[in-house]
Every structure is written in C-alpha cells, then in structure tokens.
Chain A
Amino acid sequence: MSALLALALQPVLPVAIPLTVGGLMLSVSKRLPRKVPDVVAILVALLCCGLCALLATRSAAAPIVSWFGGWTPRQGQPIGIAFVVTPAGGWFACFVCLLFAATLVFSWGFFEKTAAHFHVLMILFMAGMVGFCLTHDLFNLFVWFELMSVAAFALTGYALRDSALSGALNFTVVNTIGSYLILGGIGLVYSEVGALDFAGLAYGIAGVPHSPVVVASFVLLSSGLLIKGAQVPYQFWLADAHSVAPSPVSVIFSGAMVAIGLYGVAELYWTVFQAAPVVQHLMRSMLLGMGEASAIVGGVMALLQRHFKRLLAFSTVSHCGILLIGIALASRQGLAGTLLYMLGHGLVKGALFMVAGIMLAVLGGIDEIGLRGAGRRIWPAGIAMGFGGLLLAGLPVGVMDTGLERIGTAIHDAHARVALPAVMIGLVCTGAAVLRVTGRVFLGLGPVAGEEERSPTEQEREDANRPLWLMLVPTAALILLSLPIAHDADRLGWVAASQLMQPRTASILGLGLGSGPGSGLDAVPASALVAVPAWSPAPVSWLPWLATALALGLAALGLSWHRLPGTTIRLYERSVGPVVAGLSATQSGLVADYVTWITVGLALFGILSAFG
C-alpha cells in the first residue's frame, strides 16, 4: 500500500500519463470505436485530478521535489530538470484537470467525427498546463507553455468558419511572438546567471540584483506570459479567439489558460526575481497599472457586446486584470486572494461558457438581441447564467468572494488608490453584462428587436447531438464547486501563498541551511507557514453588496435603455460615446495593430524600468 502511495506521489505522473495516452491514442486513432476516446480522455483527466490533489495535499508541509533522470544538483549547480510541487501549483493543476474532466463530459460525442484527434489535443493541452504548474525549470516551463499554446491554436480554428480562422490566426501570431519574447528572456537571464533551474536562477540573481540584464529578462518573460494572460495592452487577441473557439474549448481558455499565464508571472516573481529591486518596482508600477487598465477596459468592452461568448471573453480580460492586481501588490494577502480568485473565477467562467455552448447547441445562436425570450424552455441554464452573473459581480458567497476579500485587504494595506475603483468597475460591468443577457434571453425583458437589429455576425451553431441534462450537469457542478465553506478555502489559499513565497533556493540546491554559500537565502521563519491570520472581514464589508446592487441596476438600465428620456441618451452619446467608440475601435481585428500594441507595451516597460 505504501509502495503504491509512493508511486502515486511521483509528480511526473499527471504529465506523463496523459502524454503517453495521447501518443498511443493517436497511433491507433483510426481503429478506435466511437465512444472510446471520450471515455479514455475523461478517465485520464479524472485520474490526473486525483493525483494532483494527492500531491497538493502532501506538499502542504514541504514542497515535493523530484529530479528527472536522478540528476540532483552538484555543489549547488543544478544539472537536470526538477518538478517541485507546492500547494499552489498542485491545486492549480488539480483544478485544471477537473475543468478538463467537466469539459470533456460536456462535449461528450461533440467531436466524434475527428477520429480521436480532438481528444488527443485536449489531453495534451491538459498535460502541458499541468507541467507548467509543476515545473521548476525555466526552459521546461517554456516547453509546457508552448505545448499548451500549440494545442490551443489548433483547437481555436477547429470550427473552420471565417471568423474562427482569422481569430485563430490572430491568436497564433500574437502568442507566438509572446513565446519568442519568453525565449529571449531565457537567453538573457542564462547569459547573466548561467542556470535554468528556478533555484539556480534565484541564487544567481541574489548575487547581481541590480543587473539591467536581469530586469530586461523579467520584462521579456513577463511580457510573454502577460500576452497569454491577456492584459492591456496585450489583450486584443483574446476576444477574437475565445469567442470563435468551440464552446468546450473556450471553457478551458477562459477558465484556466489565461489565468495560468498570470500564475506563471506570480511564480517567476516569487521564486526567481524577487531579489531584484527594479523588478519589485515594475511589479508595483507597470504590472499594477496593467491590471487596473485591464479590469476597466475589459469591463466596459463586455458591456458593449451582444455576442455572448465575446462578452464573456471581455469579462475574462477584466477579471484577469483583478487577478494581476492581486499579484502585482506583491503581498501575502494579495497572492493568497489571487490564488483563490483564480480557482473561483475559473469555475464560474467555465460554467458560463458552458451555458453559451448550451445556447449554441439548443437555441442555435449566441446573439443576445436575436435570442430575446428564446431561453425560456432551457430555464435551468438561465438560472446558472444568472447566478454566474451575480458571482462575477461580487456576490459575497463562495471561493471568488473569499479571494476578493483578501485582494481587497491587500489593496487597502498597500494604499493602491486606483486599484479599488478599477476592481469595482470590473465587477459591476462584467456582472451587469451577464445579468443583462440573462434578463433578455431567459426572461424576455427589453424591447422587441426590429429588423435592423438582426445579428451582424455569421450564422453560428454547434451540434446538438447530446441531451440537455448531459450539458447541464457539468455546468451545475462547476458552479456548485465554487461555493465551498469560505474558512477552509481561505486557509488553503493562505498556505498556498505562503509556500509559493517561501524561499527554497538553498534546500533545493542542496546547500546547507546553516553555513556555506547558500546560508541566509532561506532565512524566513517557518512559523509564517502555519500562522493563518484570523478570518478578518474586508475593510469595507458592504462593498461586495454594493457591487452586486450596482450590477443589477446597470443591467436593468441596459434593458430599459429605450425608455429613457431622449435628453439623457443624447447626453450619454455626447459625453461617454466618443470614449467608448475609441475603445471599441482599438479592437480592430487586425493582427498588425495588436503587434503594434505589444511594442507599445514593451516600450512602457522600458520607460518605467528607467525610473526604478
């Protein structure tokens, strides 16, 4: 029994098993009976979910370290690649596998005609994300990052419609540039420090904290990850890609793939770069600003959409902005909150994209105006959507709220003036947008659409080859999973954040704790891990309620727009109208524009690091 447990605690398994199964499944893809790929993929996802949960639980006391090929460091010089499981990485990987399992159930039979190719891509996608969470080597991180990117590129274009293809092209070009930025960052930091292992890098950087090369490397690495994490001004590809990918794929994209880029930023900062003062400065200036801008821009853009998947895509930008705010504050409170908010948001957003998939399959459309009142016959989906909208708006229940309260406390402690209003705008706008669609589609509220209100987008539809209940069960499961007891979640988040921030350079490099060249590196009292501060209510506990109320009000305003007096509408069109139009115009769909914005973002990084 203990031998079996020791085997199950090998961190490589949740990556190696899906890879092997994927390879074998592809080699016999033509001969597999129809339902086999579905069953195998779901089982693999559940198995990996269980393995990751086990690893995460066991890593609460100390990280689980495993060197591939048995190549442990020599005199403090890493020679191989390690997986290091911390609670943060372990639980995030577990969440990823869970989301995949739910998605594969949701898409049961949907991709039958691709002869297992879809399932191969999905489980490799999952393996890449799990590897990204567990690895402790910079280049290995890049390999898994690229594996998941490649899988994502292919899955986006799957529908082969015009918009799907051009959305996938934008996604691929922009994200591939991000990959090359990451490679550039790896090259820079390697030439300066001569290591690839996180601990080796941290050790080297602690010796040259003021090196501009280290800062440049951080800028390139975090830019690459923030392109994946869709932060202003790198966010444009997201709406093009997430709105056109098949709904089951969008569930993964918005639920986990975007957040994983931000997780990467947090991990790199705390385990590698935190000793560099300019990097600390960039976190609190550039990254915080990007998070605030994303929260606002994403929220406003979400309000303007009528294509429900596109609306959800913009809300992902907004909420990931909130996540980045939590990371950029670089405090234990903020990180703990962010880790929880990542999980909560992933579950809720995944469920909402599943509702979008149900609409596409059963109602044959996704346009808010065109589907007015059409959703009544699938009312359970409406309940899920409405509840999801309230959760996005900050309704104080469940994991999302626990995380948000921690982030709020961190904002309060750091005196970040703009962050709080930015978070509020993000919550209110995204919540209002989803609630407005719920009201219109499922309750039939709002004006009757005229002929000129026809959908401007092409006809979309996804196969309805599976019963409604099969799609509703995973949707409901995700929403329910986001509502556990707040205290336990809070404790978990705190432990995860503490472990992620805990310096472990010396112990991983095998340098003695007491003396020698590595002493002092890990000098953080272990008690910091255990002491979870008492459950402290957020500084302003009525804020979540205010956000929820405002979101409901804004949704009602959106639905009764036509009843407003003409002067109000004209005032709006004169004052806010041009700003909103300008914002919409930036989302031009042109890859050339997006690449220009990437350069602008890099230039901002460059200018701000000069002031560090």
Chain B
Amino acid sequence: MSPRLRRAVFLLACVCLLPAFAHVASTMPAFGAHPLPYGDLINAVGVRERHVTNMVSAINFDYRGFDTLGEEFMMLCAVTGTTILLRGTRGETQDRPQRVPGREIRPRADATVLICRLLAGFTVLFGLYVLLHAMTTPGGGFQGGVIIASGLLLAFLGEGYRGWRHVAHSELFDAAEGGGAALYALCGFASMLMGLPFLQNMLPLGKSGDLFSGGLMLVENAGVGLAVAGGFGILLLEFLEETREPEPVQEDE
C-alpha cells in the first residue's frame, strides 16, 4: 500500500469502529461506581489473612503469586533474548571492557564524580527501602529492583566505563537474575515439599504493619528484587557495551 492509501484505509476502519465504540462505551459499567467483587473481597480479608497492609503486594505475591512467577520469567526471557541479540556480533566470551580505538576519553568534572558518588549510594539505599517496604506501604521487588539498577547507572556516570566494569560483571548479574527468579519458583516447591499447594505460605506471618510481615511473601519479594536488579544490570551492561563497538562498516545497499 502506498502511504496515502494506507492512511485512508486505516482512517476508514477507524470510522467503521466508531459506532461500535460508542455503543460499548455507553453500556460500560458506570465509571467509579460499579461493583468490584474480587477486589473488595481481597480488601476485606487481606489484612486479616496475610498480615500485610499493602493489598497490591498481597495479590502480587500471594493470592495471585503465580502470575508474578510467570511475569518474572518473562522478564528473564526478554533480558536473555536482548543479551543474545546484542552479543551476537561481539561474541559470547568477551567479558572485558571494550574501547573504541581513537576515541578520546574526557576526564569527568570533579563535581560530576562527587554528585554521582553521593547519589549512587543514596539511590541504592532508596531502592532497598522501597524493596523492603513491599508488605506495608507502596513498593516492592520490581520497583526497588529498578531503582537499585538505576543506582548502578549513576555509578557508571561517576566512575566512567572502565571503573564501572571493575564492579559490574555479567556473571554476577546473571547469577542475581537467574538465581532470584529460581528462588521464587523454589518457594513454590518448598510449599509442595511440606505437603501444601504450590506457593502456599508456611512461614510465620508476623504482625500486620511490621516490616517483616507476610511470611513467604518476603522471600518471594527478595527473589523478585534480586532478579529485577540483576536483569536491568545486564541490560545496562549490554547496551553500554554496545556503545564501545567500533563504528560499523556501512554495507552497500
């Protein structure tokens, strides 16, 4: 299709969809006032049954914890896929910082280094804070893991690529990601070993509102945090490594 024809066909299809949309929207349940039986049930029983005060975490790690298991492996899958795609041309065994020949290395300003060192520490700390408070207030392994990984990025800004790579090893990230995800799955097997259904809690639940309440959810949350931090670490490393590639030789069209 030519761009003009394509646009015309698309718009025509949208016009055809308009009445359908209007019909469905006008019969949608009233916004903000329709029954939410599933959510209400969990809001009603969650605190009593799970001893956690953040219902979203109770769902993510317990009532619908099995979804999170799949979600985490989905992330692992995407990160592994990105790794394969990016490493394809560089080769697999390369685990040393690359350098583009001829590109000058500009020294960083002292202020940058200072601010980054300060901020990186604080960011990682904040990530841990968010991660640990999953059971009580908004937060959790996913959010915390991502913040921790962004602390890693600040470390790169401050220390430069070579300095960063002294600490950031792909093996370490692989271990954190794969191990964290496997930890989540192993929690389920632990329940099964005790004769319970997969992923059923068998640890003491603790006191509601406590940092360490929620039993098995705490372990799962830690697994998620580890996997997310490791996964995003790999992504950062692989994409940064990509900028160290020698300029590509342009192929003829």
User: What residues make up the interface of A, taking CB atoms closer than 8 Å to B?
Assistant: 7, 10, 12, 16, 19-20, 22-30, 66-71, 74, 77-81, 113-115, 117-118, 120-121, 124-125, 127-128, 131, 139-140, 143-144, 146-147, 150-151, 153-155, 157-158, 160, 188, 190-192, 194-196, 200, 211-213, 215-216, 588, 590, 592-593, 595-596, 599-600, 602-603, 606-607, 609-610
B residues near A195, Cβ cutoff 8 Å: 37-38
Given that A26-B177, A114-B92, A153-B81 are known contacts, is A143 also in contact with B16, CB under 8 Å in the complex? no
Do A69 and B23 touch across chains, with their CB atoms under 8 A apart? no
In the assembly, what is the distance between CA of A196 and CA of B65, in Å?
Answer: 14
Return the contact of A150 from the options B19, B66, B78 (Cβ within 8 A).
B78
- What are 27 A-B contacts defined by CB distance under 8 Å? A7-B192, A22-B73, A27-B176, A66-B197, A68-B65, A70-B197, A74-B41, A80-B63, A81-B66, A128-B74, A140-B70, A147-B73, A150-B77, A154-B77, A154-B78, A154-B80, A154-B81, A157-B85, A195-B38, A215-B24, A216-B24, A590-B1, A599-B13, A603-B13, A603-B16, A606-B19, A610-B20
B residues near A70, Cβ cutoff 8 Å: 196-197, 200
Return the contact of A79 from the options B12, B20, B38, B198 (Cβ within 8 A).
B38
In the assembly, what is the distance between CA of A439 and CA of B34, in Å?
Answer: 65
In the assembly, what is the distance between CA of A30 and CA of B62, in Å?
Answer: 33
User: What residues make up the interface of B, taking CB atoms closer than 8 Å to A?
Assistant: 1, 3, 6, 9-10, 12-14, 16-17, 19-20, 23-24, 27-29, 34-39, 41-42, 62-67, 69-71, 73-74, 76-78, 80-85, 88-89, 92, 170-171, 174-182, 185-186, 188-189, 192, 196-201
Write the chain A residue with the least CB distance to B65. A69
Do B38 and A606 touch across chains, with their CB atoms under 8 A apart? no
Q: How far is the CB of A264 from chain B (nearest CB, A)?
A: 15
Given that A211-B27, A592-B6 are known contacts, is A139 also in contact with B198, CB under 8 Å in the complex? no
Given that A7-B192, A81-B64, A212-B24 are known contacts, is A115 also in contact with B92, CB under 8 Å in the complex? yes
B residues near A26, Cβ cutoff 8 Å: 76, 80, 174, 177-178, 181
B residues near A23, Cβ cutoff 8 Å: 73, 76, 178-182, 185
Write the chain A residue with the least CB distance to B23. A212
Return the contact of B84 from the options A16, A114, A196, A607 (Cβ within 8 A).
A114
Do B34 and A20 touch across chains, with their CB atoms under 8 A apart? no
B residues near A66, Cβ cutoff 8 Å: 197-198
Q: How far is the CB of B12 from chain A (nearest CB, A)?
A: 8
In the assembly, what is the distance between CA of A69 and CA of B65, in Å?
Answer: 8
Decide if the interface of chain A is mainly helix, strand, loop or mixed. Answer: helix
A residues near B196, Cβ cutoff 8 Å: 70
Do B197 and A79 touch across chains, with their CB atoms under 8 A apart? no
Given that A77-B37, A191-B29, A216-B20 are known contacts, is A16 also in contact with B76, CB under 8 Å in the complex? no
Other A-B contacts than A121-B81, A139-B64, A216-B24, 8 sampled, CB-CB below 8 A, are: A20-B186, A68-B197, A68-B200, A70-B197, A70-B200, A120-B80, A151-B77, A213-B28
Do B80 and A10 touch across chains, with their CB atoms under 8 A apart? no
Q: Which 7 A-B pairs give the minimum distances between C-beta atoms?
A: A154-B81, A27-B178, A23-B182, A26-B178, A606-B20, A143-B70, A603-B16
Return the contact of B62 from the options A69, A115, A128, A131 (Cβ within 8 A).
A69
B residues near A603, Cβ cutoff 8 Å: 12-14, 16-17
